[in-house]
Structure 1
Amino acid sequence: MAKIVVLGAGLGGVIAAFEIRKSVRPEDDVTVINENAFYQFVPSNPWVLVGWRDREDIIVDLIKPMKKRHIELVVGKAERVEPDQKRVRLTDGREIGYDYLVIATGPELAFNEIEGLGPKGFTQSVCHIDHAVQAHTAFEAFCQDPGPVIVGAVQGASCFGPAYETLMIIETELRRRRIRDRVPMTYVTSEPYIGHLGLDGVGDTKSLLESELRERHIKWITNARVIRAAPGMMTVEELAEDGSVKQLHELPMKFSMMLPAFRGVDAVRDIEGLSNPRGFILTDKHQRNPKFPEIFGIGVCIAIPPIGKTPVPVGVPKTGFMIESMVTATAENLGQILRGEAPSHEATWNAICLADFGDKGVAFVAQPQIPPRNVNWSGSGGWVHTAKVGFEKYFIGKVKAGKSETFYENAVLGLIKTKKIKAH
């Protein structure tokens, strides 16, 4: 009998627990450690910000689905992973031993790297449900006395889809409230061009997203390095291609949502051989850590080098499709190892994204995520908004039922079937 511990119960951790339970032997134990007893559907947080969803709409109690699948749920915060002792130490003093550990913590949000950034400063966030609820309160107050809005992603950020979504969803809601004419809007991003997305673009995302910004009268600043956020003002350096400062912007703001850079969580940072200097988990092609092969890493917490050099640091996103692929590879490899076989499964690292803009949206498919690609497609229309709503209901329903399915793969097949993209 082996004890498998999954650290984290976000998108990757939850489906990993379900997949691993199916893949390993019946006598093996599967345990999940998570700071909370619930799962939050983070892609819906921009809707929470504008009041289209409540907290309860996107929260799933994990106790019942975990129990249904014979998975132990330990509620507590990890203080330190101790690979040499093969245990996870919690902040309350408990120690959870393991034979195999799957790290799926997601990132720590590095708000403190920029003065005034984040919910404790002068910008809002959609990275966590608590942040989104706070942002909604701030947004309602803003709508009573509207003014300039700044949305975007700072230097080192690796998740750009939610920034575009939040920007467009706010714009859509402002039009519905008939106050859009009182709100100048600016998109501030570390991307070298609009639609880069940390992926050097996918299909025609540059033209599609630039067109959306123009149509909605939204200005933008690319190659942006945020210096500080302060009451009513954001200071931004716009860099030239050689990295020199092209222009300094002092941007007035009444409301702002800026995505931060990510780093590894405290529990895994500064462990030689396990994580890189930024705290992200080092993994091989089978999702295993080279120094500690009994440890696997999946999701946003793993280390991936950026795609090429840019004037301002831009990270690579770990999209849902990619995370799902890592989960499947990890679960299958654990099953092989426990049966005395060599691991053979590798993640495909494909990307599919549905970026909702409140009334329509942009979708893209990159296979593989890092170019050159076999499929390099993007499209737009009202169907993207409909698909995103359907995705939310589908995925939350599956988590509640304790089921894990390859949603993203099915979504790609669906797009091919409806001739949205060409099969290759």
Structure 2
Amino acid sequence: MVIGAVQGTDCFGAAYEFRFNTAYQLRKAGLNKRVPLTYVSAEPFLGRPVVAAAPGLADAKGFVPVHDTYQAITYPNIHTVGVAAAVTVPWTTAIPVGVSKTGFPTEVQARVAAANVADRIRGEEQTRHQSFGDSPAVCVMDAGSNGVMILADRQLPPRKAGVLLPRPQARVAKLALEKYFLWKARNGHVRLP
């Protein structure tokens, strides 16, 4: 079985989780010796034709450079968050796929962008700013029978506080969070944390 992330992915957490959970289920079913697992990492370029078609919108890798308001640098009418946003980090040139921008960081970016879009619609000045590196790091990774909680005051160094907690309780927390977020989405409670 081959598991990997799609071309241009810069957060491998979901693929790792899927790989860990698949390995756990195969062991549980007694099939792990019969089903070899291979993990394939993503290509270093994002393959979105609509982004590439807009002159100057994306960088050479296909990511959209943004301000800390999550407006595209070359097209201020376009707000970009998550995996498509090219964020500035000290080591970007050393890592072809950039940095993680899914889950909690994307939610932070989306809130900033949405508030700024609403301000623009009302004809007001955009007041929300949040650089990727300054947003808090909150991640819970499910790894089959175990899991890891990652908490830090900032996404990128220098950090004042950060902790990695590998515990079975992390898996339970991940499942609870997933159920909570699905309930929240199904019932329209988008303002809840």
Indicate the TM-score class for this superposition, using the shorter chain for normalisation.
Answer: 0.7 to 0.9
After superposition, the Cα gap between the structure-2 partners of 1:266 and 1:403, relative to the gap in structure 1 and judged at 3 Å, is farther
After superposition, the Cα gap between the structure-2 partners of 1:396 and 1:382, relative to the gap in structure 1 and judged at 3 Å, is same
CA shift digits 1:230-261 (9 cap, x unpaired): xxxxxxxxxxxxxxxxxxxxxxxxxxxxx555
- Cα distance in 2 for partners of 1:277, 1:405 equals 36
Partner-residue secondary structure (3-state), 2:64: coil
Decide which of 279, 283, 308 is 2:66's aligned counterpart. 283
Determine the structure 2 residue equivalent to 1:367: 153
- Cα distance in 2 for partners of 1:406, 1:171 equals 34
Partner-residue secondary structure (3-state), 2:52: coil
8 A Cα contact 1:367 1:375, kept in partner: yes
8 A Cα contact 1:320 1:351, kept in partner: no
Partner-residue secondary structure (3-state), 2:20: helix
Corresponding letter in the other structure for 1:329: V
Partner-residue secondary structure (3-state), 1:379: strand
Determine the structure 2 residue equivalent to 1:300: 83
Q: Shift of residue 284 of structure 1?
A: 1.0
Give yes or no for the alignment of 1:180 onto 2:32.
Answer: yes
Determine the structure 2 residue equivalent to 1:390: 176
- Cα distance in 1 for partners of 2:8, 2:52 equals 17
- Cα distance in 2 for partners of 1:292, 1:336 equals 17
Residue correspondence of structure 1 range 90-129 to structure 2 within 5 A: none
Corresponding letter in the other structure for 1:385: R
Partner-residue secondary structure (3-state), 1:378: strand
8 A Cα contact 2:184 2:192, kept in partner: no
- Cα distance in 1 for partners of 2:9, 2:37 equals 20
8 A Cα contact 2:81 2:110, kept in partner: yes
Give yes or no for the alignment of 1:272 onto 2:124.
Answer: no
After superposition, the Cα gap between the structure-2 partners of 1:178 and 1:272, relative to the gap in structure 1 and judged at 3 Å, is same
Determine the structure 1 residue equivalent to 2:105: 322
After superposition, the Cα gap between the structure-2 partners of 1:362 and 1:278, relative to the gap in structure 1 and judged at 3 Å, is same
Decide which structure has the larger Cα Rg and report it.
1
Partner-residue secondary structure (3-state), 2:170: helix
Determine the structure 1 residue equivalent to 2:17: 165
CA shift digits 1:95-115 (9 cap, x unpaired): xxxxxxxxxxxxxxxxxxxxx
Q: Shift of residue 161 of structure 1?
A: 1.0
Identity rate of aligned residues, in percent?
Answer: 34
After superposition, the Cα gap between the structure-2 partners of 1:315 and 1:293, relative to the gap in structure 1 and judged at 3 Å, is closer
**Structure 2: where are the runs of 5+ without partners?**
none
CA shift digits 1:35-76 (9 cap, x unpaired): xxxxxxxxxxxxxxxxxxxxxxxxxxxxxxxxxxxxxxxxxx
**Structure 1: where are the runs of 5+ without partners?**
1-148, 190-258, 408-424
Partner-residue secondary structure (3-state), 1:332: helix
Q: TM-score, normalised by structure 1?
A: 0.40
Partner-residue secondary structure (3-state), 2:51: coil
After superposition, the Cα gap between the structure-2 partners of 1:272 and 1:356, relative to the gap in structure 1 and judged at 3 Å, is same
Determine the structure 2 residue equivalent to 1:57: none
Q: TM-score, normalised by structure 2?
A: 0.81
After superposition, the Cα gap between the structure-2 partners of 1:365 and 1:406, relative to the gap in structure 1 and judged at 3 Å, is farther
Determine the structure 2 residue equivalent to 1:96: none
CA shift digits 1:251-290 (9 cap, x unpaired): xxxxxxxx55551522221422322233322321111123
CA shift digits 1:115-156 (9 cap, x unpaired): xxxxxxxxxxxxxxxxxxxxxxxxxxxxxxxxxx55455996
Residue correspondence of structure 1 range 170-209 to structure 2 within 5 A: 170-183=22-35, 185=37
Corresponding letter in the other structure for 1:383: Q
Residue correspondence of structure 1 range 222-241 to structure 2 within 5 A: none
- Cα distance in 1 for partners of 2:173, 2:65 equals 34
- Cα distance in 2 for partners of 1:158, 1:398 equals 27
Partner-residue secondary structure (3-state), 2:83: helix
Residue correspondence of structure 1 range 402-413 to structure 2 within 5 A: 402-405=188-191, 407=193
Decide which of 117, 135, 144 is 1:349's aligned counterpart. 135
CA shift digits 1:309-351 (9 cap, x unpaired): 54x7342110211111111112222333344432121135333
CA RMSD of aligned residues (A): 2.8
- Cα distance in 1 for partners of 2:97, 2:72 equals 24
8 A Cα contact 1:286 1:333, kept in partner: yes
Which one has the bigger strand percentage? 1
8 A Cα contact 1:174 1:180, kept in partner: yes
- Cα distance in 1 for partners of 2:97, 2:166 equals 24
Q: Shift of residue 305 of structure 1?
A: 4.6
